[in-house]
Structures are given as structure tokens and as C-alpha cells.
């Protein structure tokens, strides 16, 4: 047999078998390693950061994600684990805090968040739980403070969220049967939101603050939708960033915009949430 032909046949046959491939960063550290067969990734692949820390382990079948995957943080500690079937997440998934305590457990179905999901505080206490259906929260969701006293009960239906009950960290009821004055605090005790609920929906005047007590925004709600005049502030909580009218949850009429210095930036007219010309 012609030697050149024999060599070609050997190359062709070799390419059909699984071969281990290793890729490196410019500094020489491994970047990725795994098997390729007939041009497609197969089996377990491992990925590393430029510094040499493991970042991910994932399984392939014929070039698609298939089987278990594990993600690691920048220190190489496991933070997430789950499964793929034909590149779509499927089955149980978990995530962890850096100290190894469970942060979340949930499920995927055909690539979507599905069924019961439970979230935890770093202390290990339960924080929140409820049902997902195709990535959307549905039904009743419960939330607790770290001291395990009930914080809230909310009902999710389509795009609406209805507050059923809300309690302070000490257990005082603020919203009962969907109605009441509402105050939510950050972990450091400063106010995050003030407002009111009626029949489970936001109503009246609401203010949002950042953790440093600066205003972020203020305006009115009607039947759970933003309505009327709204103002958004720059980081100092005093200088307006933009101001205008909202109708049925959409920007409407004239909106004013300012630089952080207080100088006017622009004016824009809106109709049904769409820009209708800058001024």
C-alpha cells in the first residue's frame, strides 16, 4: 500500500476515536480539559480560571450539556450544582454559601425553574419558599426573618403580586388580609420602603430609600400600578434625576431629566410608554 495513503488512513481513523484535549491560558495554566470525539465534546470537561482555580465541571454528550454540572467561586469552593439534559437544566439544583451551608434548593423542568424552591439565610435558617412554574412565581410565597418569625405572605398570579400579610421582625402585624400601612427595613434597621396596601395591592404614596437613608424614588400607586407623578433621585437622595407622570404603569406626558449637578439634561414627551420626541 502506498505509504502516503496509509498515513492518511491512520489520521482518519485516529480522528474518529475519543481524544483528550487540553487548552491553556497565555500564562501556561490550564484553561479547559476534556474529551472530543468526532469533533464533539464528550463526557466530563473541567474549566479553570487564569489563576489556576477550578471554575466549573460539566458533562457533555455529543457536544451538548448533558448530566451533572458544578460551579465554583473564585476561591475554588463549590457554590452550585445541578443537571442538564440536552443543554436544558433538569431536576434538582442546589447552591451554597462560601462556608458550605445550603443557600438554595430547587428544581428545573425543561430548562425552567419549576416546583418548590427554598432559600436560606447564611445562618442556615429558612428565608423564603414557594412554587415556580416556567420561571414565574405562582401561588403563595412565604418569607421569614432570620429569627424565623414570619415576615410576609404573598400571592403571585400572572404578573400581579398580592400582599396577604406582613409582620415586623418583632412580630407586629402591619398588613392583615391584604390591607394596612407598610414599612420595610434593611438588615441594619434603616427604612427601605414606606407605603400602604389595600386588598393586597400597593396603593397611595410610596417612598423607596437606599441603605444609607437616601431617597431613591417616590410616587403613587393605584390598584398595584404606578400612577400619577413620580420622582427618581440621584445618589444623594435630594437632587432629582427624572420626574414625570405615569398612567397605568407606563410613562406618560412630559418627563424631565437632570444631571447630578442639577443642570437640566432633557425633556421627553411620552405616549403610552413610548417616546414621542425630545425637547
Q: Tell me what the mean pLDDT of segment 94-111 comes to.
A: 98
154-168 as b/e: b if 16+ CB within 10 A: bbbeeeeebbbbbbe
Question: What's residue 121's pLDDT?
Answer: 98
pLDDT in tens, 176-208: 999 999 999 998 999 999 999 999 999 999 999
pLDDT in tens, 38-75: 999 999 999 999 999 999 999 999 999 999 999 999 99
Residues 6+ apart with CB under 8 A from 134: 112, 113, 114
Residue spans of the domains in the chain: they are 1-89
pLDDT in tens, 200-235: 999 999 999 999 999 999 999 999 999 999 999 999
Question: What's residue 1's pLDDT?
Answer: 47
* Integer Cα distance of 140 and 264 in angstroms: 45
Closest CA to 70 of 47, 104, 102, 37: 47
Instruction: Give the global pTM.
Output: 0.82
81 neighbors 93 (Cβ within 8 angstroms)? yes
* Integer Cα distance of 187 and 181 in angstroms: 20
Amino acid at each position: 500500500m502506498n505509504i502516503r495513503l496509509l498515513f492518511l488512513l491512520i489520521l482518519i481513523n485516529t480522528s474518529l476515536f475519543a481524544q483528550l484535549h487540553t487548552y491553556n491560558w497565555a500564562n501556561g495554566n490550564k484553561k479547559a480539559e476534556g474529551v472530543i470525539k468526532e469533533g464533539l465534546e464528550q463526557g466530563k470537561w473541567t474549566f479553570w480560571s487564569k489563576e489556576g482555580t477550578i471554575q466549573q465541571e460539566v458533562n457533555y454528550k455529543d457536544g451538548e450539556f448533558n448530566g451533572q454540572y458544578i460551579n465554583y467561586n473564585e476561591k475554588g469552593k463549590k457554590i452550585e450544582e445541578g443537571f442538564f439534559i440536552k443543554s436544558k437544566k433538569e431536576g434538582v439544583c442546589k447552591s451554597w454559601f462560601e462556608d458550605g451551608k445550603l443557600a438554595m434548593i430547587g428544581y428545573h423542568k425543561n430548562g425552567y425553574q419549576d416546583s418548590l424552591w427554598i432559600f436560606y439565610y447564611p445562618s442556615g435558617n429558612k428565608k423564603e419558599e414557594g412554587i415556580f412554574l416556567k420561571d414565574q412565581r405562582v401561588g403563595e410565597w412565604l418569607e421569614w426573618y432570620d429569627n424565623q418569625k414570619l415576615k410576609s405572605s404573598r400571592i403571585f398570579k400572572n404578573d400581579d403580586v398580592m400582599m396577604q400579610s406582613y409582620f415586623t421582625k418583632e412580630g407586629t402585624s402591619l398588613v392583615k388580609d391584604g390591607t394596612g400601612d407598610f414599612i420595610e427595613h434593611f438588615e441594619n434597621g434603616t427604612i427601605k420602603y414606606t407605603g400602604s396596601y389595600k386588598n393586597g395591592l400597593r396603593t397611595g404614596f410610596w417612598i423607596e430609600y437606599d441603605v444609607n437613608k437616601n431617597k431613591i424614588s417616590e410616587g403613587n400607586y393605584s390598584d398595584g400600578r404606578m400612577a400619577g407623578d413620580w420622582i427618581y433621585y440621584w445618589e444623594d437622595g435630594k437632587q432629582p434625576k427624572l420626574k414625570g407622570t405615569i398612567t397605568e404603569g407606563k410613562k406618560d406626558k412630559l418627563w424631565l431629566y437632570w444631571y447630578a449637578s442639577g443642570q437640566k439634561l432633557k425633556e421627553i414627551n411620552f405616549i403610552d410608554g413610548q417616546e414621542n420626541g425630545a425637547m
